[in-house]
Amino acid sequence: MVCEKANAKFDETVELHVRLGVDSRHADQQVRGAVVLPHGTGKTRRVLVFCKDERRDEALAAGADYAGAIDIVEKIQKENWFDFDVSIATPDMMGVVGRLGKILGPKGLMPSPKAGTVTPNLTQAITEVKAGKIEFRLDRTNIIHCPIGKVSFGAEKLTENYNALMDAIIRAKPAAKGQYIRSCVTSSTMGPGVKIDTMKGLNIAPGKLGN
């Protein structure tokens, strides 16, 4: 239904919005993680790597778009530079990168061990991001918002991406009581929201975004 209702003149992004039965105000009920979508997101993601000078060439060879140390930190601080979609850091750089917490955190660009973006294995981390790895996290309204591909993927590939993301969200379930998955709504950039009946899989019915 999402694919059928996507009538824009460009290849619309398809997003999934999952409302959870947890309270993001409590630290022990945070839901966050990362997953490699089988078919990627359809978007080329620009990767920035924070690393020591001796590993810069390694990062660039693995596919990073930018790599550096204190020079990159200062560029972000002084020039308000954000020409990247994902940042990765080696553990020995977090003392420096930590200075950017208040800048990168609100934008969702701060490297995180839970998301696998603070790691000594730069090649693996960069390869996964380029292959379609996405991060998900609960917002203040207890909803996770994530892209699962493009309309041009077709229903089958979008479903496989949806299943991979939902499996990861279920695995990230904290020890909270009550119904965990409250509702799922998917929509294209310009299309209507379609509510997914999570009890019956993909037997979907029209709905409004946020229901």
CA–CA distance, 154 with 44 (Å, rounded to integer): 19
- Whether pLDDT at 205 is above 80: no
Per-residue pLDDT, averaged over 35-64, amounts to: 94
Instruction: Give the pairing of strands 32-36 and 133-137.
Output: antiparallel
Residues of the chain with CATH 3.40.50.790: 47-130
Q: Which CATH number fits domain 47-130: 3.40.50.1370, 3.40.50.720, 3.40.50.790, 3.20.20.80?
A: 3.40.50.790
Look at residue 44 in the predicted model and tell me its pLDDT. 87
Look at residue 207 in the predicted model and tell me its pLDDT. 38
Look at residue 210 in the predicted model and tell me its pLDDT. 34
Amino acid at site 183: S
- Whether pLDDT at 54 is above 60: yes
- Whether pLDDT at 202 is above 50: no
pLDDT tens per residue, range 121-163: 999 999 999 988 888 989 999 999 999 999 999 999 999 999 9
Contact status, residue 161 vs residue 38, Cβ threshold 8 Å: yes
Which range, of 63-72, 91-100, 106-115, 190-199, averages the lowest pLDDT? 190-199
Q: Which CATH class is domain 2-42+132-206?
A: alpha beta
Look at residue 172 in the predicted model and tell me its pLDDT. 92
Look at residue 200 in the predicted model and tell me its pLDDT. 52
Look at residue 43 in the predicted model and tell me its pLDDT. 87
Look at residue 199 in the predicted model and tell me its pLDDT. 56
- Whether pLDDT at 204 is above 50: no
